[in-house]
C-alpha cells in the first residue's frame, strides 16, 4: 500500500496531511527518512512518524439503539440526524447495513470495513430479529406459516424465516436476508401493516438493555463472535 494511504488508514492524518508529513521528512520506513508518498509499505514495514511507530488503526465496533427519525447512512441529504453522529469516536465509523429511518433498535457501527462487508454480504446470511407491531392485530396461523415459508414480493420470494406471535398484534420475525424494507413488505404481503418495527438482534448480539439513543462499544469477545458468524454461515 502507498505510504500516504497507509498513514491515512492508520488514523494518523488525512491522506493530504499525510503527504505533507512525508514531504517534510517526518516519516521513516525501516529507519530511513522517506519523502516519496508512493513508497510501498505494509504492517511489517516499521513506519514511524516523529520516531513513533505507526500501527494499523485499532478496530472498533459499537452497538447503538437507533431512535426513530435517525437515518443510518453516514450523511443525509435532508439534514436529518445520522447514526454516526450518535456515536462519538476518533475513528471514522460506518453503519453496518441499514435500518429504515422509522425503524428503531440495534445497529452496529464500525471502522472495520472488512467486518462490515462480511456482515452485510448476502452470502453470509446473518440472521436479524425484528419485533413488529402490526395492524390488524389478529394474525392467523396461516399468515405466520406464509411468513416462515416465503412470501412473494416484487423482488422475488423470500427465503425461509422464523415468525411467531409474541402477543396480540406483536410478531417476532427473524430473516437472514437484507432486502429493502423487507419485514414491512413481508407483513404487508400477508395482509397486515407494520406500525412499529424494532430490531432486537443482529447475529449473536442482542439489543439487551441499551436505551433509545444509547450506544456501547462491543467487547473483544463479542467482536470475535461476530467475526465467526460472518466467516462460518454457509450459503443455503
Ligand atoms: N425490514 C424493514 O422493513 N425495515 C428495516 O428497517 C429493516 C428490516
Tell me the per-residue pLDDT of 121-179, one tens digit each, with 9 for 90 and over: 888 889 999 999 999 999 999 999 999 999 999 999 999 999 999 999 999 999 999 99
CATH number of the domain where residue 228 is located? 3.30.70.580
CATH number of the domain where residue 178 is located? 3.30.70.1560
Query: For position 64, what pLDDT does the model report?
Result: 98
Which of 9-13, 114-118, 165-169, 213-217 shows the lowest mean pLDDT across its residues? 9-13
Query: For position 135, what pLDDT does the model report?
Result: 98
Query: For position 234, what pLDDT does the model report?
Result: 56
Please tell me whether residues 194 and 140 are part of one structural domain. yes
Q: What is the mean pLDDT of the chain?
A: 92
Q: Which residue has the higher pLDDT, 52 or 194?
A: 194
Please tell me whether residues 90 and 192 are part of one structural domain. no
- The number of distinct structural domains making up the chain is 3
CA dist., res. 136 & res. 126, Å (int):
29
What pLDDT band is residue 69 in, cutting at 50, 70 and 90? very high
How remote is the CA of residue 79 from the centroid of ligand 1, in Å?
A: 21
Query: For position 205, what pLDDT does the model report?
Result: 97
Please tell me whether residues 100 and 7 are part of one structural domain. no
Please tell me whether residues 48 and 30 are part of one structural domain. yes
In this structure, the residue with its CA closest to atom 7 of ligand 1 is: 99
Please tell me whether residues 94 and 116 are part of one structural domain. yes
Is any atom of ligand 1 closer than 6 Å to the C-beta of 176?
A: no
What pTM was computed for the model? 0.81
Which of 17-21, 116-120, 159-163, 193-197 shows the lowest mean pLDDT across its residues? 116-120
Domain boundary among 12, 34, 53: 53
User: Read out DSSP for 27-46?
Assistant: EEETTEE---TT-B--TTS-
CATH number of the domain where residue 25 is located? 3.10.290.10
How remote is the CA of residue 60 from the centroid of ligand 1, in Å?
A: 25
184 Cβ contact partners less than 8 Å away, ≥ 6 residues apart: 100, 132, 194, 197
DSSP character at residue 180: T
Is any atom of ligand 1 closer than 6 Å to the C-beta of 129?
A: no
Cβ atoms of 122 and 175 closer than 8 Å: no
Is any atom of ligand 1 closer than 6 Å to the C-beta of 99?
A: yes
216 Cβ contact partners less than 8 Å away, ≥ 6 residues apart: 62, 63, 210
Q: Which atom belonging to ligand 1 lies closest to the Cα atom of 103? A: 6
Is any atom of ligand 1 closer than 6 Å to the C-beta of 182?
A: yes
Q: Which domain holds residue 70?
A: 61-122+205-232
Residue 170: CA count within 13 A, CB half-sphere? 5
Please tell me whether residues 42 and 80 are part of one structural domain. no
Residue of 46, 100, 143, 154 marked catalytic: 100
Query: For position 117, what pLDDT does the model report?
Result: 83
How remote is the CA of residue 51 from the centroid of ligand 1, in Å?
A: 49
Is any atom of ligand 1 closer than 6 Å to the C-beta of 100?
A: yes
Query: For position 146, what pLDDT does the model report?
Result: 97
Please tell me whether residues 105 and 162 are part of one structural domain. no
User: Torsion over CA of 59, 216, 171 and 121, rounded to 10 degrees?
Assistant: -10
Please tell me whether residues 71 and 96 are part of one structural domain. yes
Please tell me whether residues 149 and 177 are part of one structural domain. yes
CA dist., res. 164 & res. 141, Å (int):
9
Please tell me whether residues 94 and 135 are part of one structural domain. no
Please tell me whether residues 96 and 46 are part of one structural domain. no
What pLDDT band is residue 50 in, cutting at 50, 70 and 90? very high
Helix then strand then coil, in percent of the chain rounded to 5, is 25, 30, 45
Query: For position 79, what pLDDT does the model report?
Result: 86
The sign one gets for the Cα dihedral 94, 97, 100, 103 is negative
Please tell me whether residues 47 and 76 are part of one structural domain. no
Q: Is 154 a residue of the active site?
A: no
Cell digits for 149? 415459508
Amino acid at each position: 500500500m502507498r505510504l500516504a494511504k497507509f498513514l491515512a488508514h492508520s488514523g494518523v492524518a488525512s491522506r493530504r496531511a499525510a503527504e505533507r508529513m512525508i514531504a517534510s521528512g517526518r516519516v521513516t520506513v525501516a529507519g530511513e527518512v522517506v519523502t516519496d508518498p508512493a513508497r510501498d509499505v505494509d504492517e511489517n514495514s516499521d513506519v514511524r512518524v516523529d520516531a513513533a511507530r505507526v500501527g494499523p488503526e485499532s478496530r472498533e465496533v459499537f452497538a447503538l439503539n437507533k431512535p426513530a427519525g435517525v437515518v443510518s447512512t453516514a450523511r443525509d441529504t435532508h439534514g436529518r440526524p445520522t447514526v454516526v453522529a450518535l456515536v462519538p469516536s476518533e475513528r471514522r465509523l460506518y453503519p453496518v447495513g441499514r435500518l429504515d429511518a422509522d425503524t428503531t433498535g440495534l445497529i452496529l457501527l464500525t471502522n472495520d470495513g472488512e467486518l462490515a462487508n462480511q456482515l452485510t454480504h448476502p452470502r453470509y446470511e446473518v440472521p436479524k430479529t425484528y419485533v413488529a407491531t402490526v395492524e390488524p392485530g389478529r394474525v392467523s396461523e396461516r399468515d405466520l406459516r406464509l411468513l416462515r415459508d416465503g412470501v412473494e414480493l416484487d423482488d422475488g420470494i423470500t427465503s425461509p424465516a422464523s415468525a411467531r406471535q409474541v402477543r396480540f398484534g406483536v410478531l417476532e420475525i427473524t430473516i437472514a436476508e437484507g432486502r429493502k424494507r423487507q419485514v414491512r413488505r413481508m407483513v404487508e404481503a400477508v395482509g397486515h401493516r407494520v406500525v412499529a418495527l424494532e430490531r432486537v438482534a443482529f447475529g449473536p448480539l442482542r439489543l439487551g438493555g441499551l436505551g433509545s439513543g444509547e450506544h456501547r462499544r462491543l467487547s473483544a469477545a463479542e467482536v470475535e463472535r461476530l467475526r465467526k458468524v460472518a466467516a462460518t454461515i454457509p450459503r443455503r
